[in-house]
Amino acid sequence: MKIFPSNKNIIIVTDCKDIALEQVKARLTSILPNDNLRFFDLITPPFQINNGLFLSKLISEEVPHGENTLFLAIVNPLKTKPKRIFGKLKNGTWFVGADTGIFSLLFEEFGIEEVYENKNQNHYPFGGLHVHTTISGKLLKGSVKEDLGNKITEENIKKIYPSRGEVLHIDNFGLIKLWVRMKDFDFVKDDKIKIKVINSNRIFEGVFSNRMMDYEDNTLVVYPGSSLLDKSKFEYIEEYRKSGLIEIGLVRNPNSAKELGIQIGDIIEIGSIE
């Protein structure tokens, strides 16, 4: 009987985007030579755990889940070395990484079935490759979890959540995604919007629209974004459009965030101008 290779979905959340990322993929390929590996590269800016948090949640809405899917996080700017953990969500999907809280939104959405602390907690140059990646390959290969780690309780892992209005992502067009839902506001087209960057105390004036491209170039627009929309509301366009995160940006300007001086981690408060 012919045996067909299985498909493995590996989501790599990392601030490594050069040869280090290719090393990770090569290591997984060497551990799982008989499987079809599908990699999803979620590249964060350097040291941005909360961006990885957002990207993981975003891609989780599109990838298949189950025991053949694994999230591997290699992002760790923390001064104090966190413990290495791995485990399984209640939908069967694996997660592996340092205990930074980077998978907190996945934990909230899907729940944690079980979590382990790696038996190997030694420090290595590029531990993301030599420890986390190797653990990931072994889990997908079917290794016994208890051989790799010691079971711990969910209360013993770190969970973090974004602040309201936090800038979680800036895309390649320079558009700014905020951790605040459109449904929390009752803006209508052409409303004048006050945009306050809390940590730098700078204030901008923008305009609200359901479609940013309706305006002249470089107009600052607040609009319903495409991230984390509620798919259950797809047939009800007004509710669907309002269910996602708010975005802001300069019309047809590929450097919105840079020109506005806004960075990931900034806190932005928005409201109508009376």
Quick one: 31 and 136 in the same domain? yes
pLDDT score for 274: 72
Residue 161 resides in a domain: no
pLDDT band at 81 (very low <50, low <70, confident <90, very high): confident
Is 1 within a domain? no
Examine the domain organization and report whether 222 and 265 are in the same domain.
yes
The mean pLDDT of 152-162, rounded to a whole number, is: 96
Q: What average pLDDT does the segment 84-105 reach?
A: 97
162 in a structural domain: no
pLDDT at 124 over 80: no
Residues 266 and 209 in one domain: yes
- Residue 64 within any structural domain of the chain: yes
Judge contact between 98 and 158, C-beta under 8 A: no
Q: Is the domain of 104 the same as that of 240? A: no
**240 contact partners, CB below 8 Å, separation of at least 6:** 229, 230, 233, 234
Each residue's pLDDT tens digit, 13-22: 999 999 999 9
CA 123 to chain centre: 26
What average pLDDT does this structure show over 40-49?
96
Q: Same domain for 132 and 249?
A: no
What CATH number has the domain bearing residue 76? 3.40.50.10790
Domain termination site, one of 137, 156, 175: 156
Domain containing residue 178: 167-272
Residue 34 has pLDDT above 80, yes or no: yes
25 and 144 part of one domain:
yes
Let me know whether 137 and 183 are in one domain: no
Tell me which DSSP letter residue 131 carries: I
Mean pLDDT of the chain: 94
Q: What is the mean pLDDT of residues 171-183?
A: 96
Question: How many structural domains are present in the chain?
Answer: 2
The single-letter DSSP state of residue 215 is S
pLDDT tens-digit map of 205-255: 999 999 999 999 999 999 999 999 999 999 999 999 999 999 999 999 999
Alpha-carbon distances of 60 from 39, 122, 218, 264, rounded to whole Å: 13, 30, 33, 21
